[in-house]
Amino acid sequence: MSNYTEEINRRRTFAIISHPDAGKTTLTEKFLLYGGAINLAGSVKGKATARHAVSDWMQIEKDRGISVTSSVLQFEYDGYCINILDTPGHQDFSEDTYRTLMAADSAVMVIDASKGVEAQTRKLFKVCVMRKIPIFTFINKMDREALDTFELLDDIEKELGIATCPINWPIGSGKGFQGVYDREKKCVIAYSDTEKGTKEGTSIEIPIQDEEHLKELIGEDAADKLLGEVELLDGASAEFDLDEVQKGNLTPVCFGSALTNFGVEIFLKHFLKMTTTPLPRKADIGLINPTEHEFSAFVFKIQANMNKAHRDRIAFMRICSGKFDANMEVRHVQGNKVMRLSQPQQIMADERKILNEAYAGDIIGVFDPGIFSIGDTLCMPKEKFQYEGIPTFAPEHFARVRQVDTMKRKQFVKGVEQIAQEGAIQIFQEFNTGLEEIIVGVVGVLQFDVLKYRLENEYNVEIRLENLPYEHIRWIENKDEIDLAKLSGTSDMKKVKDMKGNPLLLFVNSWSIGMTLDRNKGLVLTEFGRN
Ligand code: GDP
């Protein structure tokens, strides 16, 4: 089995997270440039045109200039095989991001130097913390006026509750941005705007002890300020400790400018040195080690109709152990079936490449005829274990969905069911209505637009949405002991069922939940759906 150990150990699989506009797309493109995966990173144009050309696909994204879905990019750099999981920046799609983070071994957090920690970063960060994966920070846009560096670090520590360790230190910002001081090499690397779309640039390095040249290079004032800050920094910041980084307690921080391509390669190099090889994963038979176990994977994302011309559905799986070979048979544990995966492929930018083999750490997309669900496990035919499931998040917005043309009932039902299977929406039914009227729950309201858009465009079904006032959902944990008909809640409570027939309750506010629990002794409610 050890012949693939080397392949697995050179893999690095990480997600990039950021608040929209912090520069995630730009940074990703610059990474790819170093890997030679795409030739000219600058070929991705401004917002109005195909800004997210590398990884976005849906019209809604283009119209709104947001990234809705996440995709996967693979490239080689310096002997490493790197898998980047791109995540949607918009907060309404955070559930998709949560799932993507489940497939990553570490995360890169991009922060806008003029803004510090923003709402979306905070939310996503919590998921990283939950998973205890290492987080690496890139503070971007140093070529623009930035917040004070100490303040930025303080902000990360306070807002996110993680210690920071600057790997380098910026010299000025905006028009006065002159480069960074590398704390390990103890030298100053001067900033020069590289030619757009290339990775070439002249880089000047001067040891910090060489005060004379330093002052010549960055000016007397900047040099004095830098020397003062470095002294302060060496005394005040957390000691670098790789172990703490890998446990997710300490985040290494680099400064740079993705747009002008300064500091990107320095960051990439440091990052690759510190991040982990594919991590073992929890399954019901214990931890599965990537190099000591034959092929296994889990589905973390299902995406339909990525390309309208294909009208297909792709299940994305993260390989957790061993080697995948396109010809081999695998067991789909939840479906209890042994099969060959159909058209295994790697989604590279907007190209697809059919794969013959892949290793633990890699992400593959397989054609899905509608059999996979999020969280499903695949393993060798002789085995039958399951990876820990992916938690679903309780929807916070609800709407009643009606089809306009009731003749299209079949397409309507198929459409909402498929979109629900992908995890974009959750669907519920009232006890006394048929399937032409359902209740949809979403984590972010933009999902309603996506649902409407996709039903119209992919299933040719027009719908009407009526917003409902509910904000909380609870499953009945002890449903077998509770007589639903006798359950007495508040007047604004609604009883519904999920597609598996499990009863659940919708509430307008948390006060009603408390009231209902008080009125029905023995009732046990839970926030998360169970399969
Ligand atoms: P995303 O939403 O996080 O993917 O952000 P983008 O990568 O699309 O960047 C948002 C905007 O910020 C774009 O107009 C970029 O050109 C710009 N941008 C990205 N990085 C930098 C940078 O380092 N400096 C400056 N000045 N602008 C940047």
Q: What is the per-residue pLDDT across 137-157, written as a single tens digit (0 to 9) for each? A: 999 999 999 999 999 999 999
Query: What's the gap in Å between 256 CA and the centre of ligand 1?
Result: 12
pLDDT > 90: what percent of the chain?
Answer: 43
**DSSP 8-state code for residue 195:** P
Q: 383-394 burial, b if ≥16 CB within 10 A, otherwise e?
A: beebbeebebbb
How is residue 304 written in tokens? 């339909």
153 in a structural domain: yes
Q: In this model, does residue 413 exceed pLDDT 80? A: yes
Same domain, yes or no, for 399 and 498?
yes
CA terminus-to-terminus distance, the chain:
35
Amino acid at 228: G
Residue 501 has what pLDDT? 84
Same domain, yes or no, for 420 and 484?
yes
Residue 526 has what pLDDT? 85
Whether 438 is in the pocket of ligand 1, judged by its Cβ within 6 Å, is: no
Whether 88 is in the pocket of ligand 1, judged by its Cβ within 6 Å, is: no
CATH of residue 420 = 3.30.70.3280
> Which range, of 19-28, 52-61, 413-422, averages the lowest pLDDT?
52-61
Residue 8 has what pLDDT? 96
Q: Within 275-348, where are the H helices? A: none
Which of the four pLDDT bands, split at 50, 70 and 90, describes residue 191?
confident
CATH of residue 296 = 2.40.30.10
**DSSP 8-state code for residue 261:** T
Amino acid at 521: K
Instruction: Give me the phi and psi of 429, to 5 degrees please.
Output: -135, 150
Last residue of a domain, one of 215, 244, 272: 272
Same domain, yes or no, for 333 and 479?
no
**What is the model's pTM?**
0.80
Q: Within 176-311, where are the H helices? A: 211-218, 220-236, 242-246, 264-274
Query: What's the gap in Å between 259 CA and the centre of ligand 1?
Result: 6
How is residue 59 written in tokens? 């019209």
How is residue 221 written in tokens? 């004032």
Q: Indicate the average pLDDT of the chain.
A: 83
Residue 140 assigned as binding residue: yes
Q: Which H helix or E strand runs over 97?
A: helix 94-102
Last residue of a domain, one of 377, 412, 439: 377
As beta bridge partners, residue 288 has 281
Residue 49 has what pLDDT? 34
How far apart are alpha carbons 320 and 331 in whole angstroms? 14
Same domain, yes or no, for 264 and 314?
no
Query: What's the gap in Å between 367 CA and the centre of ligand 1?
Result: 34
Q: Residue with structure tokens 């974009």? A: 424
Last residue of a domain, one of 331, 348, 377: 377
Same domain, yes or no, for 223 and 303?
no
Asked if 211 and 217 touch (Cβ cutoff 8 Å), the reply is no
Query: What's the gap in Å between 26 CA and the centre of ligand 1?
Result: 6
Tell me: the pLDDT tens digits for 482-519?
888 889 888 999 999 987 788 999 999 999 999 999 99
Name, in order, each residue with C-beta under 8 angstroms of 193's C-beta and a sequence gap of 6 or more: 143, 201, 260, 262
CA 4 to chain centre: 27
Same domain, yes or no, for 414 and 304?
no
Q: Which residue has the higher pLDDT, 19 or 141?
A: 141
The residue ranges of DSSP E strands in 19-134, in sequence order, are 72-77, 80-86, 106-112
Question: What residue owns the CA closest to ligand 1's atom 2?
Answer: 21
Closest atom, ligand 1, to C-alpha of 26:
7
As beta bridge partners, residue 379 has 296, 331
245 in a structural domain: yes
Which of the four pLDDT bands, split at 50, 70 and 90, describes residue 528?
low
Same domain, yes or no, for 113 and 158?
yes
Name, in order, each residue with C-beta under 8 angstroms of 242's C-beta and a sequence gap of 6 or more: 274
Residue 202 assigned as binding residue: no
455: helix, coil or strand?
A: helix
Asked if 419 and 454 touch (Cβ cutoff 8 Å), the reply is yes
Amino acid at 199: K
Question: What residue owns the CA closest to ligand 1's atom 24?
Answer: 141
Which of the four pLDDT bands, split at 50, 70 and 90, describes residue 68?
very low
Same domain, yes or no, for 260 and 286?
no
How is residue 416 written in tokens? 């909402």
Same domain, yes or no, for 49 and 195?
yes
Asked if 498 and 529 touch (Cβ cutoff 8 Å), the reply is yes
**DSSP 8-state code for residue 393:** P
Residue 356 has what pLDDT? 77
71 in a structural domain: no
Q: Which residue has the higher pLDDT, 154 or 40?
A: 154
Asked if 406 and 334 touch (Cβ cutoff 8 Å), the reply is no
Q: Which residue has the higher pLDDT, 479 or 3?
A: 479
Amino acid at 277: T
How far apart are alpha carbons 352 and 452 in whole angstroms? 28
Beta-carbon count within 10 A of 485 CB: 7
Closest atom, ligand 1, to C-alpha of 256:
23
Residue 132 assigned as binding residue: no
> Which range, of 8-17, 61-70, 260-269, 411-420, averages the lowest pLDDT?
61-70
Give this complex's ipTM.
0.99
Residue 461 has what pLDDT? 93
Residue 385 has what pLDDT? 96
Residue 414 has what pLDDT? 87
Residue 193 has what pLDDT? 58
Residue 405 has what pLDDT? 85
Q: What is the 3-state secondary structure (H, E, C) of 457-474?
A: HHCCCCEEEEEECCCEEE
Q: In this model, does residue 434 exceed pLDDT 80? A: no
Mutation to probe ligand 1, out of 19, 21, 180, 261 (largest number of atoms < 8 A from CB):
21
Tell me: the pLDDT tens digits for 41-66?
333 333 333 333 333 444 544 554 44
Tell me: the pLDDT tens digits for 80-100?
999 988 776 666 666 777 788
Residue 22 assigned as binding residue: yes
476 in a structural domain: yes
313-317: average pLDDT? 84
**Angle, CA 375 vertex, CA 474 and CA 61 arms, to 5°:** 85
Amino acid at 318: R
Q: In this model, does residue 336 exceed pLDDT 70? A: yes
Whether 61 is in the pocket of ligand 1, judged by its Cβ within 6 Å, is: no
9 in a structural domain: no
> Structurally, how many domains does the chain consist of?
3
Q: Which residue has the higher pLDDT, 345 or 224?
A: 224
403 in a structural domain: yes
How is residue 193 written in tokens? 């705007």
The widest CA-to-CA distance across the chain, in whole angstroms, is: 85
CATH of residue 141 = 3.40.50.300
How far apart are alpha carbons 368 and 341 in whole angstroms? 9
Same domain, yes or no, for 28 and 58?
yes
Q: In this model, does residue 291 exceed pLDDT 60? A: yes
Pairing relation of β-strands 281-283 and 286-288?
Answer: antiparallel
Q: Which domain holds residue 129?
A: 15-65+104-272
Q: In this model, does residue 436 exceed pLDDT 70? A: no
Q: Which residue has the higher pLDDT, 45 or 195?
A: 195
How far apart are alpha carbons 476 and 465 in whole angstroms? 27
Closest atom, ligand 1, to C-alpha of 257:
23
Total length of the chain? 531
Same domain, yes or no, for 401 and 476?
yes
Angle between helices 409-421 and 446-458 (to 10 degrees): 130
Q: Within 105-171, where are the H helices? A: 119-131, 149-160
Q: 423-436 burial, b if ≥16 CB within 10 A, otherwise e?
A: bbbbbbbeeeeeee
Q: Which residue has the higher pLDDT, 169 or 421?
A: 169
497 in a structural domain: yes
Same domain, yes or no, for 403 and 422?
yes
Q: In this model, does residue 245 exceed pLDDT 90? A: yes
Asked if 109 and 17 touch (Cβ cutoff 8 Å), the reply is yes
pLDDT > 70: what percent of the chain?
Answer: 83
> Which range, of 12-26, 33-47, 101-115, 293-307, averages the lowest pLDDT?
33-47
Q: In this model, does residue 308 exceed pLDDT 80? A: no
Whether 65 is in the pocket of ligand 1, judged by its Cβ within 6 Å, is: no
Residue 18 assigned as binding residue: yes
Residue 353 has what pLDDT? 62
Residue 315 has what pLDDT? 85
Mutation to probe ligand 1, out of 26, 30, 43, 262 (largest number of atoms < 8 A from CB):
26
Q: In this model, does residue 345 exceed pLDDT 70? A: no
Whether 25 is in the pocket of ligand 1, judged by its Cβ within 6 Å, is: yes
Residue 65 has what pLDDT? 43
Question: What residue owns the CA closest to ligand 1's atom 15?
Answer: 23
Residue 10 has what pLDDT? 95
Residue 38 has what pLDDT? 42
323: helix, coil or strand?
A: strand
How far apart are alpha carbons 156 and 174 in whole angstroms? 21
How is residue 395 written in tokens? 């929807």
CA 162 to chain centre: 19
Asked if 13 and 101 touch (Cβ cutoff 8 Å), the reply is no
92 in a structural domain: no
